[in-house]
Chains A and B, each alone.
Chain A
Amino acid sequence: MNLSENIGQLTPFIIMVVAPLLLIVIISIKRNHLFSWLYTLLTFLLVAITALLAMENPLAEIPLFALDKFTYFYTILFSSAGFLIVLTSYRYFENRTEQKDEFYVLLVMATLGSSALVASRNFVSLFLSLEVLSVSLYALIAYLRKNELGIEAGIKYLVLAAMSSSFLLFGIALIYLETGTMDFGILAESLGPNLSVWILGGFALIIAGAGFKLSVAPFHWWTPDVYQGASSPVTSFIATISKGGMVGVIIRLFSSVKGYEYPSLVISISIIAIASMFTGNILALLQNNIKRLLAYSSISHLGYILVAFLAIPQNGAEAATFYLVAYFITTIGAFGIITILSDQDGEPESLDEYKGMFWKKPWLAACFSLVIFSLAGIPLTAGFLGKFYVASAGAGAGLWILLTVLVINSVIGVYYYLRVITTMFSTEKNEKTLPDLKLLSGAGLALLIIALAIIWLGILPSGIIELITRSTF
């Protein structure tokens, strides 16, 4: 490949590499939170625009990375998500006494890792991008170092993530031992109709490693603790961009090796999907901490996405991607509102602090209700169409057991989501004062974009569906 001819295809990635390095240099000369904030917003905006332009002409062939429409679609998704997360978190960090600027450096680097992960078409690049993502995340989770829970969450995540990386690596090594290749395309050709014990073991270890990143049951134990301990903008990042990268690369791997043709893989993924849907929803019923509740709800959402994986021959990749878009918007909205409601003393984590919020902040409460409706999958929101799309792909592939479980779990889910909403409307006295939100601030703008996007995806999804159909396999 000629670099000078294909510079346009590489620009989004070059920006994500150069921008954080440049920001480190700028920070070492002079710290200015407002500047770092605007700089990062501009970085994400530029990445999204250049990726959109590169999408028109995605022909570059390089050995380790596939720069195709799928990659660019996910890169646009991640950079827009990063844009919204940064937009909501200015005042959150302004209220903190820690140094603020390095947060933005780490955030862009982690987004680079996630985008490169989706672009990977070789286990070597998969591993490297996963580690760029993970190592940035260790530091991000423990970023507010005066917060004891942050350090605890960081250490838990570090030990478990390193352990899951070694599972993933050992699995890759087993597959490499048997097939002699680490490239997804060549691997697909060298796998016969019957998988040997070594390859099955390899896939099992890879599923364990990837399942940790996706936080699906039974690899989900870190999720509630890390969600609670990390600061809300970081939690939002872990819930969306970090999991999205893994979903992207697993779709690529699964559809290139045609994993849905091997009964053993299908059965193990079905069991994981069913276990995640039930564990997530049932444990969420017991929670009184909103961040832990959202953690368990994310476990069940990833379970729904796994259902779409098994339907890859029947536009499952489109369904998973659409579900991911809807999940991204609503999750960033939910954590964005928690971020906005945080003050110097900390974050409003307990559900009690939301009592009567509607009577004090009607607009914010309405936004939160919309987000919760979308998470629950109530019609006319993005979440409903996502679930509908997944269910129709699953029905096309004849996955009736999984669909039954999905429907049962949607009903269980509605119960605890509605509990959050009734809390906001309760008329009990609550002395807690909530911080003001100006519409013309970054956070107000972000909430407006999120609310409009949820309704737009829920009512007029055809534009985005067409874009997804053109960019998936």
Chain B
Amino acid sequence: MSQIPVHYAMLLAAILFAIGLIGVLSRRNIILMLMSVEIMLNAAGLAFIIAGSRWLQPDGQVMFIFILAMAAAEVSVGLALIVQMYQQHKTLDVNSINKMKG
């Protein structure tokens, strides 16, 4: 079985990471921003799996499971905050809740 070169796989992870980053910076809907952050986290997780497979160690996959668990915790708190935000402002647009400046 021929192996995919490590750096190609890392390039894929980097592209995913960049897509997520552009999403966070350009989207103004808070739910889509959270989804973009999830893409970034999963790109980092993919990078760990690639690195783990290069060294034939389980550490990379272990790290990926940690990332999944942490992302789930983060999203659950995030969604709770979004519910509060929607009750107060009746909108999901982050520009319209931005009151603090300077």
Instruction: Give the B-binding residues of A (Cβ under 8 A).
Output: 124, 127-128, 131, 134-135, 138-139, 142, 145, 148-149, 151-155, 158-159, 162-163, 165-166, 169-170, 172-174, 176-177, 180, 182, 224-225, 228-229, 286-287, 289, 292
Contact = CB atoms under 8 A, between A and B. Distances in A.
Interface of B: 6, 10, 13, 17, 20-21, 24, 30, 33-34, 37, 40-41, 43-45, 47-48, 50-52, 54-55, 57, 59-60, 62-63, 66-67, 70, 73-74, 77-78, 81-82, 84-85, 88-89, 94, 97-100, 102
B29 to A, nearest CB: 12
B47 A224 contact: no
B74 A174 contact: no
A138 B102 contact: no
A122 to B, nearest CB: 10
B33 A159 contact: yes
A165 B41 contact: yes
Contact of A169 (B48, B55, B57, B74): B48
Contacts of A182: 59, 63
Given A151-B85, A163-B24, A165-B41, A158 B97 contact: no
B43 A170 contact: yes
Contacts of B97: 148, 151-152, 155
Determine chain B's interface SS by DSSP, over half rule. helix
A215 to B, nearest CB: 15
B81 A158 contact: yes
Given A128-B66, A131-B70, A158 B102 contact: no
Given A128-B66, A158-B74, A176-B48, A166 B20 contact: yes
B98 A152 contact: yes
Contacts of B21: 163
The 3 closest A-B pairs by CB, nearest first: A173-B47, A169-B44, A166-B40
Given A149-B99, A162-B41, A166-B44, 14 more contacts: A124-B59, A138-B78, A152-B99, A155-B97, A162-B37, A165-B41, A166-B37, A174-B47, A176-B52, A177-B10, A180-B54, A182-B63, A229-B100, A287-B102
A159 B34 contact: yes
A176 B64 CA distance: 13
B24 A142 contact: no
Contacts of B41: 162, 165-166, 169
Given A124-B63, A159-B24, A228 B34 contact: no
Contacts of A127: 63, 66, 70
Nearest to A227: B100
Nearest to B56: A180
A151 B81 contact: yes
Contacts of B66: 124, 127-128
Given A128-B66, A166-B20, A292-B102, A154 B43 contact: no
Contacts of A228: 100
A170 B51 CA distance: 11
